[in-house]
Amino acid sequence: MYVLLLAVLIGPLLKPIGIPIKISEGTQSAYDVIDSLEPGSKVVFGFDYSPGNAAEMEPQAIAILKHLLSKDVKVIGISFQAQGPMLAVKAFEAAGWTEKEYGTDYVNLGYRAGGQGAVAAFASDVPGTFNTDYQGKSVSSFPIMQGVKTAADVDMIITIAPGTPGPEDYVRQVYSTYKTPLVCGVPAVAITQVAPYVQAQQIKGILGGLPGAAEYELLMNQPGKAVAAMDAQSLAHLLIVALIILRNAANIFSKPSPKSQTTASAGSSAGRDV
Amino acid sequence: MTVIALVMILDFFIGDSTALDWINDTAVITRSWGIVISAFAMGLGAINLLRRHSRSIVRRDDNAFYSFLLVASMLVMIVLGVASGTESPGYDFMFSNILSPASSTMYASIAFYIVTAAYRSFSARNLEGWLLLITAVIVMLGKAPIGSVISDFFPVASNWIESVPNTAGMRAIMMGAALGVISSAVKMFLGLDKSYLGQR
């Protein structure tokens, strides 16, 4: 089974099939709202992911950063994950931001501990919470930070976050008070968790997992790593579905014995039944 | 604690009232304290980890080798980060070539567990089991590009499952949890629950 999975993952990566990718509503909304930003707008970008989930989250961050770069928007990078600032450096570099002027066009303010409490502190006092950047320079020396006191002073907040603090914390601590438009990127498994906030329009757009990143790359007309990986993901999903059907084929054609039904309903079968 | 809690709650509701600026200022300062305490908690956690594993190395416990690996890698990263900065080539090398690939590998290995679980454990034997499995298959196919290639039904059905029954369930859970948090908080404010102070 492991060999089979490796084959369906590696095969399409080496020789892409080109399965068509449809743009989801959440990704389209995220693209539209970011595309509507005026040149010179200020955006806070939360690098709230870690190296463990960077494979899924980094393509989202890079695709959005490329879009922001093309819109000539100013980006204030922050992080509530300890390893976020290092990943921010890499994402800025991969998206081509290093050609811009640091401190004027973009800045990396580093990490602050405290989870949801830190998000609240950032929203009410940006320069007080992030008083130095990632390299320890005072934020007051950066032109990009002039006039930024609270979350209300920026035009949008984008967070790429697989866990906590994540979009929910930004909605509670930032959007509910300051009404700053919020866009987020989450792993595929977390879409359902954030869906109520998206439906309520508290989150203006959402990228879900690697498919979200691939869709964004396509909207940008810049297919990248995420688009390349989508064939592999499609086939892996198909393999899992095939295995589930295979496992249950016997159940379809055979009548379960009273004993097995009792065991299943009593939940004593060590997680073997669903 | 009750005073601090009241200040934080009032800060949320008073908005931009200049007459009550002192409440905003107090709330901002309190939140800064929260960040400082969290930073100290992280430091304390690191020290505890070092103490626990150093003791394991000294005692030559069964897993002393792994404790040694943890302590050694922790010290190397701390020394490199503090001495030469987190943007130094040495720190960047360790981060990009050891920490990142190791973390990604751990995350990616989930795929193999899922494949094994799909075959060995996902066996439906009653109506609820079948409902769960069918829903999982629809969402799995609907969320991957292959789903719309097979049939337009998968993305449509997947979106419906996500935005109607799932969102309804999530809202119920979130509201239930929020009400629970409010009732716990009120009990603490009124002094009816002192368990956070270690009292019964």
pLDDT at B154 over 50: yes
**A258 contacts chain B (CB < 8 A):** no
Residue type for position A274: V
> What is the average pLDDT across B123-133?
86
B-chain CB neighbours of A208 within 8 Å are 143
pLDDT at B191 over 90: no
Q: Which of the residues in chain A have pLDDT under 70?
A: 254-274
**B132 contacts chain A (CB < 8 A):** yes
Binned at pLDDT 50, 70 and 90, residue B169 comes out as very high
CATH topology for A2-228 is: Rossmann fold (3.40.50)
pLDDT of residue A255: 61
Q: Where are the domains of chain B?
A: 123-191
A-chain CB neighbours of B118 within 8 Å are 240, 243-244, 247
Is A114's CB within 8 Å of B39's CB? yes
pLDDT of residue A268: 42
Tell the residue number behind the tokens 């757009």, with chain if given. A205
Alpha-carbon torsion angle A77, A82, A83, A85, nearest 10: 20
Shortest distance, CA A203 to any CA of chain B (angstroms): 14
Is B122's CB within 8 Å of A248's CB? yes
**A54 contacts chain B (CB < 8 A):** yes
Please report the DSSP string for A173-184 in residue order: IIIHHH---EEE
pLDDT of residue B12: 82
pLDDT at B60 over 80: yes
pLDDT of residue B15: 67
Q: Where are the domains of chain A?
A: 2-228
pLDDT of residue A163: 87
pLDDT of residue A271: 43
Chain A neighbours among B 137-156 (CB < 8 Å)?
137, 140-141, 143-149, 155
A268 Cβ contact partners less than 8 Å away, ≥ 6 residues apart? none
At A59, list the tokens.
């393509």
At B80, list the tokens.
């490199």
